[in-house]
Structure formats: C-alpha cells, structure tokens
Amino acid sequence: MAFFSKRKGSARQSDTYTSTKGKGGKQTDKVEPLTADLDVNARVIGDRLGGSLDIVLRELRSAGKESIRLIVVYIDSIVDHRMIQEGILSPLADSPIPPLDLQDSGQDNNRQGSIIVGIAKHILSIGTIRSITTIEEALEALLGGSCLILAESEQTALAADVSGGEQRAVTEASTQTVIRGPQHSFTENCMTNIGLLRRIIRSSELRIHCLYIGRHTNTRIAVVYIEGIADAGVVNEMNRRLRAIDIDGVLESGYVEEFIQDKTFTPFPTLMNVERPDVVAAGLLEGQVAVIVDGTPFVLLAPVTFFKFFQSAEDYYQRYDISTFLRMLRHFAFVVSMLLPATYIAVTTFHQEMLPTTLLISLAAQREGVPFPALAEALLMEITFEVLREAGVRMPRAIGPAISIVGALVLGQAAVQAGLVSPAMVIAVSFTAISNFVTPQFNIAIAARLIRFSLMLLAGALGFFGIITGIIVVLTHLAGLRSFGVPYMTPAAPLLPSSLKDILIRVPRWAMSTRPLAIGGGKRKKDAKAPPWQRRSSGPEEE
Amino acid sequence: MGALGKYQIVVMTVMFELGSTPLFELGIEAKQDAWLAMLFASLAGLVLTWIYLRIQLRFPSYGLNELLRAHLGRILGAAVSLLFAVYFIYEASRNVRDFSELTVMTILQQTPQWIIIAIVCLIGLYAAWKGTTVFFRVVELLFPIVFVSYAFILLLLIVSRLSNYHRLLPMLEHGVAPVLNAAFPDIVSFPFGQMVVFLVFWHRVKENKRLGRAAVWAYIVVAFFLTLMNALTISILGPEIASISSLPLLEVVQLIRFASFLERVDVFVTLLLYIGLYVKMTLFYMAAILVVNGIFPKSYRTYAVVIIVLIAAMAFLEPDHTTFIWIGLTVSVKIFPLFQIVIPLLLLVIGALRGLGSNKGVDGGAAAEK
C-alpha cells in the first residue's frame, strides 16, 4: 500500500496486540523470574517500586491445619478496596487451601504450583485472574491495578484484577451536544467507554483489541471495529501505525492522532475525535475503526472524509428535510467563516464597483474616519476576537461575565465609537466568528480559522485574484489528503455518486441502502428498503 | 499513480474545453454568423476527437509517447514527442499570459504582470507536484462551482431579457465562405483541436471500453454550450460591438442588472475564467511533464520545476497584449494544426496501413509513465 506514509518504525514490535492481556508497552530486556523464596520475591518487588507510599505488602497465613505463609501486594491508590477485602483478604484468611490430592485435577503429583492453583480455583472470588512467573509481569500487573498474591515456596504468583478507584461518572456530552438524541458521553476510563459501545452494538462481530503505548505511562489503547464491515486493510494499518509509536507518555488521544495520521503538514484533521458513544457506534457501523485511549473521553475515528466533519449526530435523529437544510447551512457557514473577512477586504480595497451605490456610499462614510487600510482593520478585529475566544476558554469560570462585558462593549462598541474600526467590519468579524461555531467538529473549524488569515493576507495584497489563488491551493491540498488511504474529499472527488446521499443533503433513512463505499469494506447492504406503508403509491391516497 | 475514473475524464474534458473560451468571441470575422462558425468548427473538432480516440483505442494502455513510438518508430517517435512537449509548453505559457492579461485588464490594473505570472505558475507547480490524480480531483471539486455559476449567469441573462435574436439575422448573409474561413483552421485549433492533449491522459482511465463514449459525450455537451454562449454574446452585444470589444463576455455580464443589487457580476465571471485558465494551463503543463519524462525518464518533479520555469519565461515572450493576441490569432493557429490535425491524421493512416492494434496489440506493453 504505497499511499500510506512512511514513518520511522520503532523496535517495539510485539504481536500481543490482539490479546486483551497484551503488554506491548514495556521493553523487557532482562527477565527476572520469581524465586521459590517468598521473602526474596516480596523484597525484590518492593525494591523495584522504590518503596513508594501507596504500595501495600500484607503478609498473612491461610486458614486450616497446614497454614501457609502468603504475601498480598497491591497499590493502594488504584485498586478497589471492597474487592480486595471481600474477594481476596477474607477468603484467604477464612477458608483453608485444599491440598492437591483433593483437587479435581489430580494428575500432577508435583507439589510445586498446587497452592497457587488451589487458591485460584477454590478461594479467590475475583473474575480476572492470571498467573505470573516473572518480576516484570508482576510489576506490570501491579501497576495495572491488579492485586498480587505470592505464596510460600511457589515460583508462580497470582494477579487478580481489582482495579478501581475514583473516576468520573458517565455524564452529559459537554462539547458535542445535541438537542435530540442520547445525551451521555464517554468518560476517561477505557473500559467504561468500551462498555458504552458494547451496550449500543450488541453484536458478536464487534472486535476490541488492546495494546499499551507509552514507555512510562503504559497507556491502554483499544482498537474497536466491526468484523466484516470495517476494511481489514484499514484495521491492519491502524495496528501497524499504533505499534510503531514510541513515546514516553500518552495523555490524550491527540498524542496518538499525531502519530497515526497520514500527513503531518495540514491544518485539516484526518482523524475525527468524538465524545459521543452514538457517533462512534454509527461510525463503526459504517466501517470506521475507533481508537479508545485510556484517560480521555475523546475517541478517535478513522478513516474520515472531509464531509464527515459536517455531519452531526442529530442529522440522523431529526427529519431528513430539516437535516438537509441544517447540513447545507453548516457547509455555507464553513465557507463563510473562511472567506467572509477576505471578501470584505477584497471588495473594499479593490473591487468597490461591485457594491450597489447606496451601500458603497454608506460603507465609505463609515470608513471615513478609520485610520487603517481594510486589511489592517480586519486583522486587528480578527486577532482581537481570537484573543477573546482563547481567554473565554482558559480563564477561571468565576470571571466569565467579565469577558462578555469587555468583549462586547469595550472592544466592539467602543472601538467603533473611537473610530478605530468601522461598524461594517465589526459585523463581518462577528458573523465570521459565529459561523465558525456552527461546525459540529471543533477541529475542522480551527482549520478554517487558520486558512482565513492567509486568505485575508492574499485578499489584502491581490484582491479576488488572491482569494481564488488561495482557494485553488486549499482545494489542491484537500484533494491530495488521505485518511488511512481514503481520499479526503470522497465522495465528491473522486466522485462516488451512490455515497452523495449523505453529503450536502441527507436522504431518508430507508434510502440509504448502502454503506459509504470509500470507508467500509465487506458487506455493502446496510438498511432495508422503505417500509411498505411508506412506498410511493401510484395515485393520490384513496379512502 | 492511480487510475482515473470515467467521470473524471468527462469533467476534465468539459472544464478543459470550457477553459477561457467564453472569454473570446471566436469567429467574429463571420459577423453575426460567428456561432455558425463555432458550430462547424466544433463538428470538425468532433471528427478530430474521433480520430484521437481511434488512435488511442488501438493501444488502450499507451500514452502519447508509446503511441508515437508504436506508429513512427523509436527515433522519429521520440522526436515527434518532443515537438508535442514543446507545443504543450507553448500552449500552457499562452494560458499563463492570458491569465495575467485578463487580471491586469480587469481587476488588478496596477499590479505588475510578473507577479501574476509567478503566482499562477506556482499554483500550477503545486498541482503538478501533487500529481495527476490529485489534479483531476481538484478539477472535480471545481466543476460544481463552475457549473452552478454558468447556469446562474445563463439564468440571469435570460431573465434580464438582454438577448435579441434579431441581432443574429440575417443568417449566412455572404454565403458559407466567410463562416468556413472563420472556422478553419482558427476555431478548430482553439479550443476544439486542443483535445489532442488527452492522448497523454486517456490511457489512465480504468474503464477503457466506455472511454470513447464518455469523451465524445462530454465533448458534444461542452461544444454545444460554447456555441450557445457565443450566440448569446452576439445576440446581446450585436456583431459590431462584439468584434471591437477585447473581452466581450465581460461586457455582456456587465449589462446584467437584477433586483438592483446584482449589478457587477463581471468580477465573478473573471474568477470563473481564472478557474478555466488554471485547469487548461495545468493540464497542458502536466502533459508536457509526462511527455518529456517519457522521452528522457528522470524525475517527474525535476521536470515539473524545469518546465514551469520554461512556461513562465515563455509567457514573457510577447512584448504587449496586442502582439500576444496577434500571434495567438494569426501565427499560432497556423502551426497548431500540425499537432492537432496533421500528425494525428498521419498516425491514423499509418496505423491503418500497418494494421496496428487490430491483432492482440492491446496489451503490448505497460505504460511506462509514472
């Protein structure tokens, strides 16, 4: 696949990414096995963790005649205490470990290992348990939120998954809101997020693969797709790119996004980030692959096309005619947010003759006292607005109202009255700003903001000629972009007529009988035909 | 580089032929019968297109270089390829010059031409840098804009009732001779004969079987549209004004007054012409790169840079607009038919005599182009 960009592969290739217990994250150059000496094992583990505050090493003896010395190790801050208490500590203390000959698998007469097997099979009431033979595995399990059970004269230990601790509950989506539709959003917990998806797509075809990225953070990353719908090539490529990542830490899906996108030098996002489970589910059903990164509610979706960024989840929950109108409105607003200030500059600087005379006179009168050329005026206002906007995001919530006062009154009205800018320019800048917020996906709106500035400069220098040059360059750039091998401007260029049903317009649900061709492989048929009561009758309705 | 779709060829044909053509009132020597000259020329162009397609379909996987080599032999084929490259470069440079002349005449009167030429060459280079596949996609993206705009202009021209068919009368006042004189070879060579450039690109089309039909239909549609625009211009301006105006189409749209706010649409029309010129220029430019790279295979991008510099330099050849137009309308149109008519006809005859392509020559060799 020549179209996938080359990137520097790292040596940390591991084929464990397909298992849910993969451990591709850490480079294990030397493997230290557990010894038969309980105290040595405990000491080594304690030393490797550097005696941190929250490490708990609890020694206890099992119940029964043949009392066995056990050590339970866990990290206090990332486990669920109730599970430790009820699932590990009290069973260990209360019930005796059955000797090997009483256990059902009696063929192995070696005493070695019987205690651990006995504990695992008969005592612990924890769902996920695995056995561990090396110090490295033990550390990894501990740091992942497992509780380690070491037994006397055993070279195997048990890791029981008791991860827990404080985390945010599932709440309403805060950045990608809808009026109608499911309101919950992803959380910071990878498992919770997978659960949210599982609850929507109850299909055995849903595949979830895990891998760990980040030398220090060892962050869990889940790749989710639907077998048979998602293109196998895209899934493989996604895994390949993810495994090639070599980084100290992954704190947000943005880290991953920068590594796995097809092209770095572009303002346009080639992966989508979503905080709504329904949107991700819809993407999966169309053949996209989702990447869930532990620690962030923003899930990545790929491959995406340019037009995907203008589809809101709500488009599919509302009537199609209304959705179509809103969809067109969004595209229009996107164009406005890129072009309006540039057009204003071009018209007032170079092409005044385009305006009707009355409007021209009124504009000229407004600009009479303005000391700057239109370009400087527009840049001044645009930058002011960008600063206001950034301040609005960053400042402490309590001072919120101050921004609106300063922004609206001082910078808007007062600037006009002081003769620094013309009222028409304030209107243009405000409308541009508002238009920029219409786009459902925030990151493509930022692309429009960046391009807006270069177009303004071009318009200031060369008028409409500059604007059309800029547009051609942007279009060329867009036409050359790919997202996981899918041309970015599909289905407009290259044209796929059957996929145009969900671009500028949205046709009724039942008319979307095929999946978008470019993204999904596999089965094409999606929905059924129109239900019989909706099929067009040949004449007017009788009765 | 990837294959092209049938639709992409259709769109490119339309956009390419459209190009800057509506800008000029072609065949105005025939006075009110200019549109008839246009019609005859487009019919001749249709025959030419058919010839090009015949040649192409003999070896569906061959580009221009391979076609010439297959017909004329190695040495002669390469020599003629080189001539074609020069021709493409010159056509591209004329488009660049058109671009700058149009800009300086209409919307940027005070900007030096070299700035415009430099910028146009840079955006052409950018497209070439990204490759043919991307460029065809860009044109696909531009097509809806152009289509809607022209439809809108037509609508405005119709509702503002500027057109008067009496200006097209009397038909054939002085017989057929002046019409044919205007049509041949001038209009045939610009724009219709320029279809020859597609010999460089046709072989990349995925569905070769349907190529002929798609190309011919696209050609017919755009030829009809160009003839219509031509007739509209005369019916609005009348033959006298149309013949003395340097940019008749802009004169026409300046007359549009609609609902007292759409008064100066001509700036937008200029932008439309820009898009057309850009498409045309870049296609010729890319054809030149591909042909040269086919003769002396080296690096596509090196040639892209070298050739765009050549194009920019050649755009400065003519000292002023009058010379530029004079060379374009008198000298060039006498040389261009060599490439558009004479050589293709030769190829057709040679191919027929040698029976090329009739037997299993369909996949004689893979296209060597990048």
Can you list the residues of chain B whose pLDDT is less than 70? 1-2, 207-208, 259-263, 357-370
Could you give the CA distance from residue A200 to residue A228 in angstroms, rounded to a whole number?
Answer: 18
**Model confidence at A31: pLDDT above 90:** no
Contact B61, B247 (CB under 8 A): no
Could you give the CA distance from residue B266 to residue A460 in angstroms, rounded to a whole number?
Answer: 20
pLDDT of residue A4: 42
Could you give the CA distance from residue B233 to residue B168 in angstroms, rounded to a whole number?
Answer: 10
Confidence grade of residue A235 (pLDDT, cut at 50, 70, 90): very high
**Model confidence at A87: pLDDT above 50:** yes
**What is the average pLDDT score of chain A?**
83
pLDDT of residue B358: 53
pLDDT of residue A452: 95
The residue of chain B with its CA nearest to that of A357 is B261
User: What are the angstrom distances between the C-alpha of B294 and each of B64, B67, B68?
Assistant: 9, 12, 11
- Given an 8 Å threshold on Cβ–Cβ distance, is A350 in contact with B108? yes
Q: Which residues of A touch B102 (CB under 8 A)?
A: none
User: What are the angstrom distances between the C-alpha of A9 and each of A17, A91, A256, A293, B129?
Assistant: 16, 48, 15, 21, 27
pLDDT of residue A188: 92
For residue B185, whether the previous peptide bond is cis, meaning omega lies within 30 degrees of 0, is: yes
Of B126, B140, B267, the CB nearest to A492: B140
Comparing A9-13, A300-304, B113-117, which segment has the lowest mean pLDDT? A9-13
Judge if ipTM > 0.90. yes
Q: Which residues of B touch A339 (CB under 8 A)?
A: none
Reported residue count of chain A is: 543
- Given an 8 Å threshold on Cβ–Cβ distance, is A494 in contact with B116? no
Reported residue count of chain B is: 370
Could you give the CA distance from residue A326 to residue A319 in angstroms, rounded to a whole number?
Answer: 11
Main-chain phi, psi angles of A491, to 5 degrees: -95, 15
pLDDT of residue A530: 56
Q: Which residues of B touch A493 (CB under 8 A)?
A: 136-138, 140-141
Q: Give the SS3 label for residue A70.
A: strand
pLDDT of residue A182: 92
**Model confidence at A542: pLDDT above 80:** no
Is 1.10.4160.10 the CATH classification of the domain at B6-355? Answer: yes
Could you give the CA distance from residue B217 to residue B233 in angstroms, rounded to a whole number?
Answer: 24
pLDDT, average across residues A428-436: 92
**Which sequence spans correspond to the domains of chain A?**
31-161, 190-304, 324-487
pLDDT of residue A404: 76
Region class of A85: left (phi > 0), else alpha (psi between -120 and 50), else beta: alpha
Contact A186, A193 (CB under 8 A): yes
Q: Percentages helix, strand, coil for chain A, rounded to the nearest 5?
A: 45, 15, 40
* Chain B residues with a Cβ under 8 Å from any Cβ in chain A: 5, 7-8, 103, 107-108, 111, 115-116, 119-120, 123, 126-127, 130-131, 134-138, 140-142, 144, 260-261, 263-264, 267, 270-271, 274-275, 278
Q: Which two tokens stand for residue B334?
A: 């006498």
**Model confidence at A86: pLDDT above 80:** yes
B88 CB-near residues (< 8 Å, 6+ apart): B197, B284, B285, B287, B288, B291
Confidence grade of residue A8 (pLDDT, cut at 50, 70, 90): very low
pLDDT of residue B247: 84
Nearest to A84 by CA among A52, A130, A124: A124
DSSP class of residue A98?
P
Q: Which two tokens stand for residue B268?
A: 């937008």
Of B107, B116, B138, the CB nearest to A479: B138
What would the pLDDT profile of A252-276 be if each residue is shown by its tens digit?
Answer: 999 999 999 988 789 999 999 999 9
What would the pLDDT profile of A176-225 be if each residue is shown by its tens digit?
Answer: 888 899 999 999 999 999 999 999 999 999 999 999 999 999 899 999 99
